[in-house]
Amino acid sequence: MLGYIGGIFNKKDYLSPSYINLNNPKFIEIDGMYYSGLLAVNYIREQDELILKSVIDTNINIYISMYYEKQDTYKVIKDLTYNIGNVKVDMEKIGENRQDADIVAYTYNDAKYIRKQMQINNEELYFFYMYITIFSEKKEEVEYNLNKIEGFLKSRGIQTKRAYFRQEQTYLSCLPLMQNNSDIKEISKRNILSNSLVCTYPFISSAIFDEEGIFIGENIYNNSLIFIDRYNTSKYKNANMCIFGTSGAGKSYFTKLMILRYALLGLEQYVIDPDREYTKLAEKLDGTVIKLGPSSTTYINILDIREESLEDNQKGFLATKIEKLIGFFKLVFQNMSEEEKAILEEAIIKTYNEKGINFNDKSLYNDRKFKNEETMPILEDLYKNLNNKMKTKLFPFVYGSMNFFNKHTNVKLENKLIIADIYELGEENIKYGMCAFVELFWNKIKKERKNKKAIYMDEIWRLIGITSNKEVASFIYKIFKTIRKYGGSGIAITQDVSDLFSLEEGTYGKSILNNSSIKVFFNLEEENIKVLEKYIDLSNKEKIEIKSFKRGECLMFVGNEHILTKIDSADFENDILGGN
């Protein structure tokens, strides 16, 4: 019976393959994987683009190894000067042999050019070697990919040779061992000046892998995984995000995927949901759904003043609240004159005074405790203090079809995931619900600065587009501009790009776009792309891609990186989200 003797295996034994087959000159076989190499042996005389771009952007399994050997400048110039003199003599002796004359002339001019660059422009000379190994579990696939890579390289002016009878040397030279095998060096060696080294730069395919980031999807070009930590303040100026896309392009699924993944990490998340897309997700994650509409039993009082509405050491609870209320009531009364605005402000102040609340912040406290929701005025109290013209427009909110606005707040906001369902408000009235909830959630976000949190504003164009007003749009812009210092993230979501830029010649839409470190563009119609390119730099290629994206594909601007991305999810996530 054989026994195991400890200590006879070392780390090298565990790493070594079980077998290596070197019998075929066309490839190496290692543990069922086939490897075949290419040697770059010549290059076009002038390169002005990255030579490896078309190769690296493929999803073919390849190893690329490049070696640079710096040459002694003094010795190179000395040798060039000597050779230039000899070549000049040869040119005088050639006589009528035109073919030889052309070859010698090329050599002569190249030598003079290199010497000039080194002497005048302080460039240095390197020997450059490039090897590529393609691998697959199938021999046929290796052959197919060899032809494909050769075609890509040929299109860039690079001539290659297959490494027949030199497969082992090429394979070893492609491993991270820094061993440029002498058997293939002379075949692949070419001169390159330091100014041209940039054309060989290999790290050209955008990839993002933030250490503490959440998984987003795959890079469409090279299948690299994308992880983004938008709360990484050392890398991104803020955690804000804009998500644009037509209906059915995948933006809602992507948003729900982010909510799910951040919920697993325990983040506070607040969602404005005008189309009832997130309520089922909230149920599966034990979140809170606050429904506002004719059939609702949960209410939000627009006149509430909350203790967290002011930052530390700030003063002016009532003054701050009046500013926000003017924006809300401008949505109700629409084209208010300055006189009507003054009348409204006077009525608001009177209404709060009747409840014992004035511009002295102490009036909001009873025995050092902030007044609760039941002590606040409601819309009916304000209604009684308005003139008849204003009463007419406010009537539906007090005694009419939207009297659910005329209630004291009766919801507790303790859950880390809260969905504001405003679907029942209808197309014309959704903006009122959005405005009320945005203020409510903004106060929650300001409460604990150390906690990471996010507010998602679906169909944000309703708050900063032509149907809104300056006061409300300025409030939304303020959120995107300052949310970073509260540990928060603002997410703007819309399919109506043109409406987003419709107020004040796009001022607010542009401001929110510029204050978002991450921008995600799903499929968009051409007219929306034309609007978008006025406010953001898009290449012609990117515009074509945005127009032709399939569902779940997008272009992401993450900081300075532009990445074509396919959003991906695990099976259990897909089950939770309902596969939509």
67-89 per-position pLDDT tens digit? 999 999 999 889 888 888 877 77
In this model, does residue 1 exceed pLDDT 50?
Answer: no
Claim to verify: residue 172 and residue 40 sit in the same structural domain:
yes
Distance CA 332, CA 371 (A): 27
Claim to verify: residue 376 and residue 470 sit in the same structural domain:
no
Record the tokens describing residue 183, joined without a space: 């058997």
Domain assignment of residue 104, yes or no: no
Domains: count for the chain = 3
- pLDDT given for residue 136 in this prediction: 94
CA–CA distances in Å: residue 573 to residues 256, 262, 317, 418, 570 = 10, 12, 43, 19, 5
H/E stretch holding 354 reads: helix 338-354
Claim to verify: residue 317 and residue 258 sit in the same structural domain:
no
Claim to verify: residue 440 and residue 531 sit in the same structural domain:
yes
518-558 per-position pLDDT tens digit? 999 999 999 999 999 999 999 888 999 999 999 999 999 99
2-37 per-position pLDDT tens digit? 444 555 667 777 778 889 999 999 999 999 999 999
The enclosing domain of 392 has a CATH number of: 1.10.8.730
**CA neighbor of 307 nearest in space, from 376, 240, 250:** 376
Claim to verify: residue 34 and residue 154 sit in the same structural domain:
yes
Domain assignment of residue 109, yes or no: no
H/E stretch holding 462 reads: helix 461-464
Q: Are strands 518-521 and 553-558 parallel, antiparallel or unpaired?
A: antiparallel
Claim to verify: residue 471 and residue 364 sit in the same structural domain:
no
**Residue 453 three-state SS:** strand
Claim to verify: residue 508 and residue 456 sit in the same structural domain:
yes
- pLDDT given for residue 64 in this prediction: 93
Domain assignment of residue 493, yes or no: yes
In degrees, to the nearest 5, what angle opens at C-alpha 531 toward C-alphas 529 and 534? 105
Domain assignment of residue 145, yes or no: yes
In this model, does residue 97 exceed pLDDT 60?
Answer: no
**Residue 37 three-state SS:** strand
On whether the CB atoms of residues 278 and 271 are closer than 8 A, the answer is: yes
Query: Could you say which of 383, 410, 437 is where a domain stops?
Result: 410
Query: Could you say which of 148, 179, 200 is where a domain stops?
Result: 200
155-181 per-position pLDDT tens digit? 888 999 999 999 999 999 999 889 999
Question: Which residue(s) pair with 127 in the sheet?
Answer: 69, 191
Q: Are strands 125-136 and 20-21 parallel, antiparallel or unpaired?
A: unpaired
Regarding pTM above 0.75, the answer is no
276-284 long-range Cβ contacts below 8 angstroms, 24+ apart: 276/421, 276/423, 277/252, 277/458, 278/419, 279/419, 279/421, 280/578, 281/256, 281/419, 281/576, 281/577, 282/417, 282/418, 282/419, 284/576
**Residue 42 three-state SS:** strand
One-letter amino acid for residue 197 of the chain:
L
Distance CA 412, CA 109 (A): 82
Domain range for 344 is: 296-410
Claim to verify: residue 398 and residue 452 sit in the same structural domain:
no
Mean pLDDT (the chain, rounded): 90
- pLDDT given for residue 441 in this prediction: 94
Claim to verify: residue 38 and residue 185 sit in the same structural domain:
yes
Domain assignment of residue 365, yes or no: yes
Number of H helices, E strands in the chain: 21, 20
Claim to verify: residue 501 and residue 571 sit in the same structural domain:
yes
Query: Could you say which of 410, 437, 465 is where a domain stops?
Result: 410
Cβ neighbours of residue 362 under 8 Å, at least 6 residues apart?
A: none
The enclosing domain of 528 has a CATH number of: 3.40.50.300
Q: Can you give the three-state secondary structure of 130-187, one letter per residue? A: EEEEEEECCHHHHHHHHHHHHHHHHHCCEEEEECCCCHHHHHHHHCCCCCCCHHHHHH
Domain assignment of residue 391, yes or no: yes
253-294 per-position pLDDT tens digit? 999 999 999 999 999 999 999 999 999 999 999 999 999 999
Domain assignment of residue 10, yes or no: no
Domain assignment of residue 368, yes or no: yes
On whether the CB atoms of residues 147 and 26 are closer than 8 A, the answer is: no
Question: Which residue(s) pair with 349 in the sheet?
Answer: none
Claim to verify: residue 283 and residue 334 sit in the same structural domain:
no
452-508 per-position pLDDT tens digit? 999 999 999 999 998 888 889 999 999 999 999 999 999 999 998 999 999 998 999
**CA neighbor of 146 nearest in space, from 129, 130, 132:** 132
Claim to verify: residue 483 and residue 508 sit in the same structural domain:
yes
- pLDDT given for residue 475 in this prediction: 92
